[in-house]
Amino acid sequence: MLHMSLDLINLSAHIGAEPLFSGVSQSIDPGHILAVMGPSGSGKTTLLNIIGGFAASPVRWTGEVQLAGRRLNSLPPQRRRLGLVFQTPLLFPHLSVGQNLGFGMPSGQSAVLRQATIEQALSTAGLTGFADRDPESLSGGQRARISLLRTLLSQPDALLLDEPFSALDEATKADMRAFTAAQIRNTALPTILVTHDPRDAEAMDARRFHLPPS
């Protein structure tokens, strides 16, 4: 799959009459990470919602979001081909670990290929043999790895990470930063990481962008 840049072009946002940020222009190349940082209320999550297509009233925004040269502004979230990973891993409790991994995979694949892909993902996560496990039996770090890999198996063209490590303990954070950065390099996805922790950006070799822009 050929990936191209994720481009934010002169984005500005207001909540009601209150300006949140203005003139945000950034380009994220394949396999690179932009860490969006700033204090609470600076607009980090609003920016992510604009990119993902989730911004709603009272947020008003202008500018353009492009992915591989394709304008995303008018597209609903499900047509933007963006993978989202949140602070809390959103695994389906009624599905096994393997079924969770397979949930977002493209349709039309043979059962053999589908199972082989799931097994490879489990191996990548260090969880070989866990396909039939209940997600609730996993540790926080294991759930985080499965959540990330499930998102990647949906074959997005870019990745949005919203404080993905903040709920983890310090040792697990270090492991997940390294694991996530490796997957981003391997898949060559342009990635935006929203975080309040500069250690996330440093460990993942991310370019930093602060809101509000200085």
- pLDDT tens track for 4-49: 899 999 999 999 889 999 999 999 999 999 999 998 889 999 999 9
Same domain, 193 and 108: no
Lookup: tokens for 71: 């304008």
Supply the CATH number for residue 207's domain.
Answer: 3.40.50.300
Q: What is the DSSP letter of 168?
A: S
Confidence of residue 132 (pLDDT cuts 50, 70, 90): very high
| Whole-number Å distance between alpha carbons of 153 and 74 | 25
Residue 159: which of 84, 80, 71 has the closest Cα? 84
Shared-domain flag, residues 138 and 213: no
Same domain, 4 and 69: yes
| pLDDT single digits (tens) 159-204 | 999 999 999 999 999 999 999 999 999 999 999 999 999 999 999 9
Q: Is 171 within a domain?
A: yes
As a whole number of angstroms, the distance between CA 168 and CA 51 comes to 25
Whether 85 shows a pLDDT value over 60: the answer reads yes
Report the number of distinct structural domains present in the chain: 2
Judge whether residue 81 has pLDDT over 70.
Answer: yes
**Boundaries of domain holding 117:** 91-155
Q: Are residues 162 and 144 in the same domain?
A: no
Domain check: are 132 and 64 in the same one? Answer: no
User: In 3D, which of 109, 150, 108, 103 has the Cα closest to residue 127?
Assistant: 150
Q: Are residues 171 and 131 in the same domain?
A: no
